[in-house]
Amino acid sequence: MKTLCRLPQRAIQTSVTITTDDARLDGDLHLPQDSSGIVLFVYGSGSNRHSPRNQLVARTLREAGMGTLLFDLMTKEEEAENGKAGAPTFNLDLLAKRVVGVTRWLEKHPAASRLKVGYFGARTGSAAALMAAAELGDRVSAIVSRGGRPDLAGPVLRRVRSSTLLIVGSCDCIVGALNQDAFNLKA
């Protein structure tokens, strides 16, 4: 029996431009040496890849040996429209489609294609992450929703196969109740 030797992966830290079906998205890809998985950050309105909170979480994950991809879900032009009626920030179908596109881009990246994929979603980004995971099935290993709105993904929640962790602050009663509703839908 022949044993295949896996070559060690070198550390990567680079800015990337990700082309999806409808946009070119900027991102920051970090892969510690010999990463076992990668976490894509899917944030909601009012946040981006430069957010100190997102940067802190990403750094902590990298210190634990996980890769991270922080990327902008919207183009610069769309960001300028943010807050106006019909802005893409709240177009969850569009955002989920982009998360799927970024995941597929990552699956073709030479240094990341073998890695398990997880999503870290916040606010409305949690719904987009869950919607993308419902479409991608077993390709997404885990999802963490922090203060998210998984209830907005309602109809597709039963199709999510990934392990999912819903985190809500104990004083956030409204979002806590919405997360409980989403949990009950998925169960």
Could you tell me if residue 27 is inside a domain? yes
pTM: 0.88
Residue 181: predicted pLDDT: 82
Domain-located, residue 6: no
- Domain span at residue 162 reads 12-79+87-186
Q: Tell me whether residue 22 is in a domain.
A: yes
45 touches 73 (CB < 8 A): no
Asked if the structure places residue 7 within a domain, the reply is no
* Length of the chain, in residues: 187
Question: Residue 146's beta-bridge partner residues?
Answer: 122, 167
User: pLDDT value at position 84?
Assistant: 59
For residue 165, the domain's CATH number is 3.40.50.1820
Count structural domains, the chain: 1
182 sits in which H/E element = helix 173-186
159 part of a folded domain:
yes
Q: According to the model, what pLDDT value does residue 9 have?
A: 64
Name which of 45, 131, 42, 119 is nearest 88 in CA terms.
45
- Name the strand (E) or helix (H) holding 13: strand 12-19
Tokens for 65, please give them. Answer: 């040996």
Q: Whose structure tokens read 């995971």?
A: 133
Cα(88)–Cα(103) distance, integer angstroms: 19
What dihedral angle (degrees, nearest 10) is formed by the CA atoms of 75, 80, 144, 98?
-30
Within-domain flag for 64: yes
Residue 63 covered by a domain:
yes
140 membership: H or E segment, kind and range: strand 140-146
- Could you say which DSSP state residue 147 is in? S
What is the model's pLDDT at position 7?
A: 45
| 1 within a domain of the structure (yes/no) | no
Q: 136 — phi, psi (to 5°)?
A: -85, -15
| Cβ 110 vs Cβ 132: under 8 Å | no
- From first to last of its 187 residues, what are the pLDDT tens digits of the chain? 444 544 456 788 999 999 999 999 999 999 998 898 999 999 876 667 878 888 999 999 999 999 999 998 888 888 777 655 555 557 899 999 999 999 999 999 999 999 999 999 998 999 999 999 999 999 999 999 998 899 999 889 999 999 999 999 888 888 888 888 888 876 6
